[in-house]
Structure 1
Amino acid sequence: MILADQRPLNWPLAKPGNARLIPLELAEVDDRSAIRRLRALVAATALAAIVIIAIGEGPEQNGEPPVAGTAERLAEFVGGLRPDGPYRTPTSEERDTAARGFEALLTGLRVWVATSHLSPLGFSVDQQVDDATERPYLLILNQRDSERAWGMYMMDLSAPVRLAIEVPHPNSDLKTEQMGLDLFRRVPGSILMVAGAHRDAADKAADVAHRKDSIFHVMAAHFADRGLPQVQLHGFSDATLPARDLVLSTGIGQPGEVAEHTALRLERAGLAICLAWREKCGRLGATRNAQGRAAAAFDSPYLHVEASRSVREDTERRRAVIDAITAALSRR
């Protein structure tokens, strides 16, 4: 830090109207105690200036907004997604480029290589620290208000990759992104995937849960190929299935250990569940879900969770859902 006045402490201040500075050893000053007091005063003044400048460098003091926490950053991103927002389906070449970028992260955390692929697609790649868990993570984020609205991805760096958490319908299936962040914080080594556009954008071309031509799906299919468990979070209106709080399904795949144990724990928590592998749950069984189909093709663990609006609006019941999933995953 550079102070405005950096003259040595053995140089006195010039007298008013006199621009010439006189060294103390040449000054006609008989009282040496006065010199010592002057030196102490100058030193104290310099220290005070340093403290004041340091305090003034905080974001609230210099006009910059305070740094947003993880939840605030996610809420801002999701809150900006609109049904009439911009979206363009990525070309096959762009999807391949994105796949190479994410592959570089998953197979050695080669951030520079990943950035060289993802940056030309409009993504920023930054390391952040989650304010709630103090764990580091990579934030891969598309440009704001861009037709290349291809997602927000958070990759926990505190442990090897072990879980993909998917939020395909942000700002449509309300608060599913909050559930996703909660699960991300509970499971070190998670990747949180949030679609970059509202599901109705571009005449529903942005509905990534039902399309295979998105970067979101490219990542999910890659995870399925690696056998990485996936949990996809959705929401439904209370009127759609009035007697149930949740619908659990595995798409067209067979229920595995994670699905069965999640169901058991949710039932113990007193939640009314429709299990799509045992009964009909209307149109909420995820049999047309693109990521579920990819997981089934690779025989990879996949859990599709539909939560009613009442559950999503209730903090305690929302937490109970995440508790159950976390406990089931811990058995793997």
Structure 2
Amino acid sequence: MIAILLLVVTALAGGLTVLLRTPGGTSRPAPAPQGDGQIDLAREVADYTSRFAPGRGYQPPGAADRQDIATAVGLLLDGHRKQAEQRLSQRDFAVRTVVDRPSGRHFAEVADRTDTAVTPRGWGRVYIDLDHRPNWSVQVPHPGFDLGTEQLGVRVLRGSPGGILVIAGAHRKAGVGNSADVAHRQDTVFHAICAELARRRMPGIQLHGFAASAAPGYDVVASTGAGSAGRPEGGELADALGGHGFRVCRAWVRPCPLEGRTNVQGQVAEADHVPFLHVEFSPEVRAGGRPAERAAAAIAEITGRWAREPVTD
């Protein structure tokens, strides 16, 4: 009997992905579309963050901007893409589906249309896994300042299914005062999105970097930020990092530098009783190569479990 291939069209987050259904019942994505949707996510993020610099490229958003963009991200997660696109368009944001060539995975990219303008607003970017139910986030608050954290974020996103990558849209020192320091400001688009994810009870890991002189003797400083909801995951992550050869300072065991107690995303996560991990990496780990691969593999031991656990209200 000749096997018949049936085309099954499945809606993912309001977008369409074509699956090839075989007689044995297994599915695989159809060949990815050609054209602008084909990207290398690492290169895309590198191009995006390469434009960041101190003293320029950031305009503080209004309350309505923050609320609408965060609400639209929530609509995408609920599968209401058209409504999300309409709301984002009102704030000069756009959504497109991209295929990350190295991983073969489909992502929804939520991007500020002013990114390439002469005066970008610097409100950030989001990548949402469309091939799996989103269950967790990796957050990069200081791209271009904590060098290499944006590329580590891409590695982490690729490392486990169901992830959401949230990247700040400007250098930490781009704005007036600390207005662009999204890890310590609640009036940013970055914070509004992360707070929406915490409200949905999605655990998150936030990536930072420290100077070698700030934590001598350590490769990583692991913390649960302002609270203790992520203590079990923190211990597991520290063990995994240690297993990969890193020297880890555990902030819940002993005083460590850069513990992230004042991190506002961690404060919101703790208020919602959602696991949050604040992790600082040395320059060597963030430089790429084998150290970054080992760090991402250790993190995947945690995010992989988050991906398997259903998000509960």
TM-score range, shorter chain: 0.7 to 0.9
Q: 2:88 matched to which residue of 1?
A: 118
Q: 1:12 matched to which residue of 2?
A: none
1:259 to 215, 234, 253: 234
Deviations 1:137-157 (A, max 9, x none): 111111224442111111110
TM-score (norm 1): 0.77
Amino acid at match of 2:156: L
Shift of 1:86: 2.2
1:86 pairs with 2:61: no
Deviations 1:118-163 (A, max 9, x none): 1222212111111111111111111224442111111110011111
In structure 2, what is the Cα distance between the partners aligned to 1:119 and 1:66?
Answer: 19
* Contact 2:148–2:288 (Cα < 8 Å) also in 1: no
1:205 pairs with 2:175: no
In structure 1, what is the Cα distance between the partners aligned to 2:274 and 2:37?
Answer: 42
4+ aligned runs moved over 6 Å, structure 1: none
Deviations 1:36-67 (A, max 9, x none): xxxxxxxxxxxxxxxxxxxxxx99xxxxx996
Q: 1:183 matched to which residue of 2?
A: 156
Paired residue secondary structure (1:154): strand
Matches within 5 A, 1:127-276: 127-142=97-112, 143-144=114-115, 145=117, 146-203=119-176, 204-254=178-228, 255-276=230-251
Shift of 1:320: 1.4
2:254 to 272, 279, 282: 279
Q: Indicate how the Cα distance of structure 1 residues 187 and 213 shifts in structure 2: closer, same or farther if over 3 A, else same.
A: same
Shift of 1:331: 3.6
Paired residue secondary structure (1:330): helix
* Contact 1:156–1:191 (Cα < 8 Å) also in 2: yes
Q: 1:46 matched to which residue of 2?
A: none
* Contact 1:199–1:206 (Cα < 8 Å) also in 2: yes
* Contact 1:121–1:148 (Cα < 8 Å) also in 2: no
In structure 2, what is the Cα distance between the partners aligned to 1:330 and 1:76?
Answer: 28
Structure number with higher helix proportion: 1
Comparing 203-212 with 141-150, greater Cα deviation is found at 141-150
Q: 1:71 matched to which residue of 2?
A: 42
Shift of 1:329: 3.0
In structure 2, what is the Cα distance between the partners aligned to 1:330 and 1:136?
Answer: 18
Q: 1:313 matched to which residue of 2?
A: 287
In structure 1, what is the Cα distance between the partners aligned to 2:248 and 2:71?
Answer: 39
Deviations 1:227-247 (A, max 9, x none): 111010000000111111000
Shift of 1:308: 0.5
In structure 2, what is the Cα distance between the partners aligned to 1:236 and 1:188?
Answer: 28
Shift of 1:68: 4.6
In structure 1, what is the Cα distance between the partners aligned to 2:98 and 2:38?
Answer: 11
* Contact 1:258–1:325 (Cα < 8 Å) also in 2: no
In structure 2, what is the Cα distance between the partners aligned to 1:269 and 1:137?
Answer: 29
In structure 2, what is the Cα distance between the partners aligned to 1:202 and 1:186?
Answer: 33
* Contact 1:252–1:293 (Cα < 8 Å) also in 2: yes
Structure number with higher strand proportion: 2
Greater RCO, 1 or 2 (C-alpha within 8 Å, sep 6+): 2
2:262 to 270, 281, 288: 288
Q: Indicate how the Cα distance of structure 1 residues 68 and 324 shifts in structure 2: closer, same or farther if over 3 A, else same.
A: closer
In structure 1, what is the Cα distance between the partners aligned to 2:52 and 2:39?
Answer: 19
In structure 2, what is the Cα distance between the partners aligned to 1:116 and 1:315?
Answer: 41
Deviations 1:224-280 (A, max 9, x none): 122111010000000111111000001121143221111111112221111111111
In structure 2, what is the Cα distance between the partners aligned to 1:155 and 1:68?
Answer: 14
Identity %: 34
Long gaps (5+) in structure 2: 1-33, 307-313
Deviations 1:60-96 (A, max 9, x none): xxxxx99652221111001011112221111111112
Long gaps (5+) in structure 1: 1-57, 60-64
Q: 1:302 matched to which residue of 2?
A: 276
